[in-house]
Amino acid sequence: MDLRYTDEELAFRNEVRAFFKEALPADIRRKAALGQRYSAADLRRWQGILYERGWATPAWDKAWGGTGWSAVQQYIFKEELHMAPAPETLSFNVNMIGPVLIAFGSEEQKRHFLPRIASLEYWFCQGFSEPGAGSDLAALRTQAVRDGDHYVINGQKLWTSVRPIITIDGHHETNEVFFDNVRVPVANRIGEENKGWDYAKYLLGNERSGIARVGVSKMRVRHAKDLAKRVPCGDGVLWDDPRFRERVAAVEVELKALEMTQMRVIAESSAQESHVPDPKTSILKIKGSELQQLSAELLLEVAGPDALPLDIDFLRGLGDAVREPEWALTIAPNHYFARHVSIVGGSNEIQKNILAKSVLGL
C-alpha cells in the first residue's frame, strides 16, 4: 500500500491542521497538551465548534450530517485531531449510537435523534457490562419485558452513571447504574424486536475500530521523544541512551504497521457498505490498545520519579501545577488509565477468539 498522500489530501491535511490551530480554545488545548481530563462543558463546547464547522460526524452518511470525506480524509482528520492534540468527539454519540441509528433506525428516529446526537444536546452511553458479565455478553441478566407500549427494564450495569467508582488513577471515570422497573417507550426501540444482539455487534465493530487511536499513540511517542531530549540522564540526556531509542523505534514500527492495517480496514468497509460488522476490526482493537499502553509506558519512563506526585485537582484541570515539571503530573494516572483499553470493547482475549472463528475459520 502506498501511504504517500496525494496533493489534494495534503491540502486537506493543511486545512484541518490550520482549523485545529485556530479554532481550538486555548484552555482546552492546554488540558489536551498536559493530558488533563476534560469537563462535560469542555466537550460540549468543542463538539459545538466542530458541529458548526460541519465536522462533528465525519464518518456518518452525508444525508444525516456527515462530511462525504473519503476513508483517507477521515483518517487524516482523526490523526490531526489526536496530534493537535484536541479532544475527540464523544465516541458514544458519534461512533456508536449514531451509526446504529443510521443503519437500523426509523426515519422518525433519525430526524429526531441524529442532529441532537451530533451537537451533543443528547449525551448517550452504552450499557453492556454487568457484575459477573464483562466481556462475556452472553451472560447478561438485565431484561426488558414488554408491557403494552413500553418495555419495563430491570437489572444492573457498570461503567455508566449513578454510583461513582474511583479507579486506580484516582479519577471518577466510571459508575454503576441500577434499573428498577424503568419504563422505556417501544417507539424508542431501534430496529426489530429480538434483533438487539445483531445491532450490538454492529456497534461494537465501530467501537473496536475507534479504540485503535493511532494518532494518540503517535502523539505520545512524539512527546516522549521531545522530552527525552531534555530530561537529564547520567552525563547527558535520556535520548542519548541507545536502549531507550531502540524501544521508541520498536513502537514506531508497530504503529506504522497498525496505521496500514487500519487504512485497509476502513477502505474495505467503505467499499462494502455493509451492515455486517467486519471481524478484522478486532485486529485494530488488539494492536491499538497494546500500543497505547506501550506509548504510555515510554512517557512514564521519561518522567521517572517526577511522575510520582498525585494532584487530583490538577489531573481534572481544576488547578494549576503545584510544582515543576507540570507535564509529569498527569503521566502516571494516564499510564494507569491506559491499562483499561485492553478490556473495553471486549477484552483482547475475546478479540482473538473472534479472529480465530470469523477470519481463520478455526
pLDDT at residue 289, rounded to an integer: 94
* Residue pLDDT, tens place only, 59-116: 899 999 999 998 889 889 999 999 999 999 998 999 999 999 999 999 999 999 999 9
In terms of CATH, what superfamily is 196-358? Butyryl-CoA Dehydrogenase, subunit A, domain 3 (1.20.140.10)
d(CA 16, CA 20): 6
pLDDT at 136 over 80: no
Which whole number is the average pLDDT over 230-244? Answer: 94
| Least confident window among 137-151, 190-204, 263-277 | 263-277
Beta bridge partners of 133: 130
Q: Is the dihedral of CA 33, 37, 39, 44 positive or negative?
A: positive
Q: Which of 50, 45, 39 is nearest to 80 (CA)?
A: 50
Cβ(291)–Cβ(217) below 8 Å: yes
d(CA 79, CA 320): 28
SS3 label, residue 330: coil
Which helix H or strand E contains 239, and what residues bound it?
none
Domain parsing of the chain, residue ranges: 7-119, 137-188, 196-358
Highest-confidence segment of 204-208, 255-259, 279-283, 344-348:
255-259
**Yes or no: domain 7-119 corresponds to CATH 1.10.540.10:** yes
Which whole number is the average pLDDT over 272-297? Answer: 84
Q: How is 194-240 classified by DSSP, letter by letter?
A: T-HHHHHHHHHHHHHHHHT-HHHHHHHHHHHHHHHTTSEETTEEGGG
Average pLDDT score over the chain: 89
> Which of the pair, 101 or 1, is modelled with greater confidence?
101
pLDDT at residue 230, rounded to an integer: 93
d(CA 175, CA 221): 31
d(CA 246, CA 132): 41
d(CA 61, CA 68): 7
Q: Which of 155, 189, 188, 159 is nearest to 343 (CA)?
A: 159
* Residue pLDDT, tens place only, 167-213: 777 777 778 899 999 999 999 999 999 998 889 888 877 766 667 88
* Residue pLDDT, tens place only, 336-353: 989 988 888 778 888 899
Q: Identical fold at 7-119 and 196-358?
A: no
d(CA 339, CA 337): 5
pLDDT at residue 124, rounded to an integer: 92
* 313 confidence band (pLDDT: 50, 70, 90): confident
pLDDT at residue 279, rounded to an integer: 79
Count of H helices and E strands in the chain?
14, 5
Beta bridge partners of 145: 152
Which whole number is the average pLDDT over 48-54? Answer: 96
d(CA 299, CA 335): 8
Give residue 304's region: left, alpha or beta (phi > 0; psi -120 to 50).
left
d(CA 47, CA 316): 19
Q: Which residues contact 256 (CB under 8 A, 6 or more apart)?
A: none
- Classify residue 337 by burial, with Cβ atoms within 10 Å: 0-12, 13-18, 19+: buried
Nine-digit cell at 100? 446504529
d(CA 295, CA 278): 27
Share of the chain above pLDDT 70, in %: 94
Give the start-end residues of each E strand in 219-325: 232-233, 236-237
Share of the chain above pLDDT 90, in %: 60
Could you give the count of Cα atoms lying within 13 Å of 292 in the half-sphere of its Cβ? 24
* 276 confidence band (pLDDT: 50, 70, 90): low
d(CA 290, CA 254): 10
* 36 confidence band (pLDDT: 50, 70, 90): very high
